[in-house]
Amino acid sequence: MATPVMDKAQATATADYITATFRIRRFNPEESDAVIWEDFQITIDPKERVLDALHKIKWDTDGTLTFRRSCAHGICGSDAMRINGRNRLACKTLIKDINPDKPITVEPIKGLTVLKDLVVDMEPFFQAFRDVMPFLVTEGNEPTRERLQSAEDRERFDDTTKCILCAACTSSCPVFWNDGQYFGPAAIVNAHRFIFDSRDEAGEQRLEILNDKDGVWRCRTTFNCTDACPRGIEVTKAIQEVKRALITRRF
């Protein structure tokens, strides 16, 4: 016998809704220098995501609530925020997984200037990314076909290709919080992606950039970055590999 298919209205009617409190850090420099925490109580299916809750609050209760998001599917990296004290992507965090029995705190990622509510100035983060030359550098010997690479050589940097530049790693790093001058895990991850690419010819140059006083040696191996990465990249391991390459000059 065929399984009856529920339409959207029926599915909505049978969802187990809960009332959850979202405690959101608010800041609007056009109105005041003060930071406040504001509670919003909403009725929502706990299988929905924090991003859905933020949309509900913005669309139904307070249109001034400000946050970034684009793809809503963990690809663009624009909605990293601190949820219950931990960096996560709002679009990848289910409400049921973060104990909705207590108020759920939502605040901007740390270490970057807050512009409004959950929106931070990402420019210093992207500047560090640009500084490590995140592009393939090859000189001369222009190929007439694509530059070939073995599966083993491609595997060498596969993990660090997954970065979506959400800044969850960099903004979870205590060294970065300290003065914001440290390149940060995300920039090093993206340097790693090219340093260990067999087709690239600027590995030495990138290593010298990261040999700076604000470079890779400032990492204190706290593993916050690895814990925070929503893509599961072994960030601390990548940083260690760059440190080792700086010592051995083998990559």
SS3 call for 55: helix
CB 73 → ligand FES: shortest distance, Å? 6
Cα gap 248→168, rounded to integer Å: 30
Q: Which of 42, 78, 117, 203 binds ligand FES (CB under 6 A)?
A: 78
User: Residue 76, interface with ligand FES (CB under 6 A)?
Assistant: yes
- Cβ atoms of 74 and 63 closer than 8 Å: no
CA contacts within 13 A on the Cβ side of 21 = 8
Helix (H) or strand (E) holding 231, with range, is none
* Binding string, residues 80-109; x marks residues near ligand FES by CB under 6 A: ---------x-x------------------
- Only one of the segments 66-74, 204-212, 220-228, 242-250 lies at the binding site for ligand FES (rule: CB under 6 A); that segment is 66-74
Q: Which of 23, 58, 69, 86 binds ligand FES (CB under 6 A)?
A: 69
CB 78 → ligand FES: shortest distance, Å? 5
User: Please, which residues bridge with residue 163 across strands?
Assistant: none
CB 96 → ligand FES: shortest distance, Å? 18
DSSP symbol at 101: T
Instruction: Give, in order, the Cα–Cα distances in Å from 171 to each of 25, 121, 165, 216, 224.
Output: 17, 12, 11, 16, 9
CB 74 → ligand FES: shortest distance, Å? 5
Q: Name the burial class of residue 9, with classes exposed (0-12), middle (13-18) and buried (19+) by CB atoms within 10 angstroms of its CB.
A: exposed
- Only one of the segments 30-38, 76-84, 118-126, 209-217 lies at the binding site for ligand FES (rule: CB under 6 A); that segment is 76-84
* Binding string, residues 19-58; x marks residues near ligand FES by CB under 6 A: ----------------------------------------
Least Cα distance to 136 among 184, 203, 185 occurs for 203
User: Residue 72, interface with ligand FES (CB under 6 A)?
Assistant: yes
Task: Write out the residues near ligand FES by the rule CB under 6 A.
Answer: 69-72, 74-79, 89, 91
